[in-house]
Amino acid sequence: MKRFGFLLVVVVLSLSSHAAAAPPTGVEESLAKYIALGTEGCVYGGVTFANFGYAAKANGGAQPVTPDQINIRILLLPGSPQLVFSSNWKAAAGETQDSYIKYTVQPHATNLEAEGLLLLQMGTFQLGLIGSVTVDETTDLGDLQVTAQCADACTAPKSDSLEYWPLGQLQVLDHVNLAPKNGEASLSSFTATFNFCPPCA
């Protein structure tokens, strides 16, 4: 799998200066609230999620998605916290829609004798006859991608995974891209899973 440097996002929302409480696990809360947590972030199941940031762009008449329109739900599986990102990402034919979500993931303890696993999964989507719906995940350990694409034929989205040795804090950039050429495209959610303890699962 190709490795790419982090995409530098020009427009990043500033962090809020006031303290904010972390949402309970399993509860949906806006990305804006996670951004407000700043560098301290929040701790779930021995893992700290912090340094959330966001940028968006849209072309051809599409409306940019704001951080208030993106929700995050954190689920705790044994050794594998999941971040479920949901929104009403959509674009009409000839439009493009992009969302960039950055954050860090810091496990408090890892099993250095076992490989960890990153997993990226696409949720429910809609796509016309020609175009694509893509979620890219860029990390400092490698990159993942799931794509639904239609041209002469359509390919169903699949999950993508990456094995790695747990080495501490992980920097993550998730990029959602909708680019329909014919018909409309939409995406309801995607899930990022961070398995730091394979024997626990």
Per-residue pLDDT of 69-110, as tens digits, reads 999 999 987 768 899 999 999 999 999 999 999 999 988 766
More confident residue, 45 or 99: 99
The answer to whether residues 85 and 71 touch, using CB atoms and an 8 Å cutoff, is yes
Window from 38-47, 55-64, 105-114, 136-145 with minimum mean pLDDT: 105-114
Give percent helix, percent strand, percent coil of the chain, each to the nearest 5. Answer: 5, 55, 40
User: Which sequence spans correspond to the domains of the chain?
Assistant: 29-186
pLDDT confidence of residue 18: 37
pTM: 0.84
Residues 109-120: tens digit of each pLDDT: 665 566 788 999
How far is it, in rounded angstroms, from Cα 155 to Cα 163? 24
Q: Which of 111, 86, 112 is nearest to 99 (CA)?
A: 86
DSSP H stretches of helix in the chain: 31-36
How far is it, in rounded angstroms, from Cα 73 to Cα 31? 10
